[in-house]
Amino acid sequence: MSVPIVPEALGSRTFRQQHQVKYAYVAGAMAKGVASPELVIRMGRARLLSYYGSGGQRLEVIAAAITRIRTELQPDQPYGVNLLHNLLMPELEERTVDLLLQQEVREIEAAAYIHPTPALVRYRVNGLYRDAQGAVIAPNRVLGKASRPEVAQQFLAPPPAEIVAALRATGCITAAEAELASCIPLADDLCAEADSGGHTDRAVAYALIPTFLRLRDRAQAEYRYLQPPRIGGAGGLGTPESIAAAFMLGCEFVLTGSINQCTVEAGTSAAVKELLAAADIQDTDLCPAGDMFEIGAKVQVLKKGVLFPVRANKLYEIYRRYDTLEQLDSATRRLLEEKYFERSCEAVWAETRDYYAQAAPAELERAERAPKQKLAMILRWYFVRANRLALSGDPAGRVDYQIHCGPAMGAFNQWVRDTPLADWRNRHVDDIAERLMREAAALLNARLAALQTASQELTS
Ligand SMILES: Cc1cc2nc3c(=O)[nH]c(=O)nc-3n(C[C@H](O)[C@H](O)[C@H](O)COP(=O)(O)O)c2cc1C
């Protein structure tokens, strides 16, 4: 091989150009500001894209984070914000989009979608125009994340015509924007998310990524976009080997998650980072997701050193078995109140009711009428508490820490063992990206050179 592979060459050139980044490498959002303003600023200054973890944050907090990021970064330095589909509170998604448009946030990472929503389409279509050459330009860029082909197809297709028409009819978008919507895909970039930390369908990257590439090729053949959507990979990436493999599979960018939670910049407690830095690849487990408890959605969390996954599974079992709070037998109720909640079920309900009265009164009304729903809300309170305990690092509540994490964390820890990065205090998001990309390029050079030598021996 005459010219060595350089890290800048990995992935798609248009990805690097469009996002104005050094590498086709992204740090994905982590809810509750774990992907903090500090993390996003540090990445942006290194000319690397990352997304602020707006999930579960109040609008004022998101607004303050965006302002801070924009103040600290130069106008040409990249940053984005997460937009999560909200099954229970669609209104929150709408208000988040209002904020993103008002603050002129140009990059979003759209996740947890089953179908495109009016809020997501409104963001994407807003500001569409034709340039002097007649090309349709979308100022608002969307990186979609999906684990299933039927969701992927919707990100690869233009925004649904019926949603566009409804937005036009209510005056949310202009006639020109509505007309141009059919010329672009819903997402510029689509990330195939395999088995990952946090919410996961546990897809296998080797099966998922080639499938998404084929879906993209078919979508491109059908819609003939000026710029075909790019396919990236996420889930399990935490070593140079896995990054190299993702690019060899055809990924046009890579996205990491779990490994960034164990860095100086991550917005979580030192206690959580200590636990993460000690994790190995088998130290994670699946358990029910607190925010989508009733539909049986799963999250991958750290299991080493905590009881959270065991307790979360037990809560789900209780939800399946009982229809009302009053049906709980005394032993179960005692277990909940003494061990899980550390307060009475009534106190939990009072707090839950206050929250929903503010955030989603319709949900509260539904629960007041449906006792099973009320039970779910009480049980779900534990997940909120477990999150708070982890974020604050309260030593008394350590067994209950809810820490979203996938096996990439353990693989990363193995990679940096016996180096200064074994200590999380030496881990910085941009430096990790730099090392991973450089070493992935070096690995590819070594592998390809070895294959060429072997081929020469066989053919000469
Ligand atoms: C602690 C944590 C919180 C996460 N929160 C979000 C989130 O709020 N929104 C989102 O789109 N993805 C979220 N993710 C997923 C990541 O953005 C990323 O897609 C995923 O972690 C990649 O897989 P990996 O963990 O195997 O690297 C989270 C992941 C972790 C580890």
Convert the pLDDT of each residue in 50-99 to its tens digit.
999 999 999 999 999 999 999 999 999 999 999 999 887 889 999 999 99
| Structural domain contains residue 234 | yes
Q: 336 and 330 in contact (C-beta within 8 Å)?
A: no
| Structural domain contains residue 362 | yes
What average pLDDT score do residues 137-148 get? 98
Burial class for 439, CB neighbours closer than 10 Å (0-12, 13-18, 19+): middle
Q: Specify the 3-state DSSP secondary structure of 365.
A: helix
pLDDT for residue 291? 83
Q: Domain count of the chain?
A: 2
| Structural domain contains residue 407 | no
Q: 164 and 178 in contact (C-beta within 8 Å)?
A: yes
Beta strand pairing call for 298-302 and 198-199: antiparallel
Whole-number average pLDDT of the chain = 96
Q: How confident is the model at residue 1 (pLDDT cuts 50, 70, 90)?
A: low
pLDDT for residue 460? 86
pLDDT, tens digit, for every residue of 356-371? 998 888 889 988 999 9
Q: 10 Å Cβ neighbour count for 301?
A: 25
Burial 213-228 (b: 16+ CB within 10 A, else e): bebbeebeeebebeeb
- Judged against a pLDDT cut of 80, whether residue 186 lies above it is answered with yes
> DSSP label at 80?
E
Query: Higher-confidence residue: 251 or 293?
Result: 251
| Structural domain contains residue 436 | no
| Cβ 299 under 6 angstroms from ligand 1 | no
Question: What separation in Å is there between the alpha carbon of 258 and the centre of ligand 1?
Answer: 6
The CB-side HSE value for 75 (13 A sphere, CA atoms) comes to: 1
Burial 22-38 (b: 16+ CB within 10 A, else e): bbbbbbbbbbbbbbbbb
| Cβ 409 under 6 angstroms from ligand 1 | no
Question: What separation in Å is there between the alpha carbon of 277 and the centre of ligand 1?
Answer: 17
Answer with the one of 212, 241, 269 that is the final residue of a domain: 269
The minimum-distance atom of ligand 1 relative to the CA of 29 is 17
Q: 10 Å Cβ neighbour count for 455?
A: 10
Distance CA 418, CA 395 (A): 28
Range of the domain at 344: 307-402
| Structural domain contains residue 441 | no
Question: What separation in Å is there between the alpha carbon of 34 and the centre of ligand 1?
Answer: 10
Distance CA 194, CA 208 (A): 7
For helices 240-249 and 408-416, give the axis angle rounded to 10 degrees. 130
Same domain, 31 and 158: yes
| Cβ 27 under 6 angstroms from ligand 1 | no
pLDDT for residue 359? 83
Q: pTM of the predicted model, to two decimals?
A: 0.97
What CATH number did the domain enclosing 165 receive?
3.20.20.70
Answer with the one of 375, 402, 429 that is the final residue of a domain: 402
Percent of the chain with pLDDT over 70: 100
Q: Specify the 3-state DSSP secondary structure of 284.
A: strand
Q: 192 and 208 in contact (C-beta within 8 Å)?
A: yes
Same domain, 232 and 346: no
Q: 53 and 36 in contact (C-beta within 8 Å)?
A: yes
pLDDT, tens digit, for every residue of 306-352? 999 999 999 999 999 999 999 999 999 999 999 999 999 999 999 99
Distance CA 240, CA 180 (A): 41
What average pLDDT score do residues 424-443 get? 98
Segment among 2-6, 29-33, 82-86, 431-435 with least mean pLDDT: 2-6
What average pLDDT score do residues 163-179 get? 98
pLDDT for residue 87? 81
Residue of minimum CA distance from atom 6 in ligand 1:
30
Task: Give the residue among 127, 96, 198 at the shortest CA–CA distance from 409.
Answer: 198
| Structural domain contains residue 228 | yes
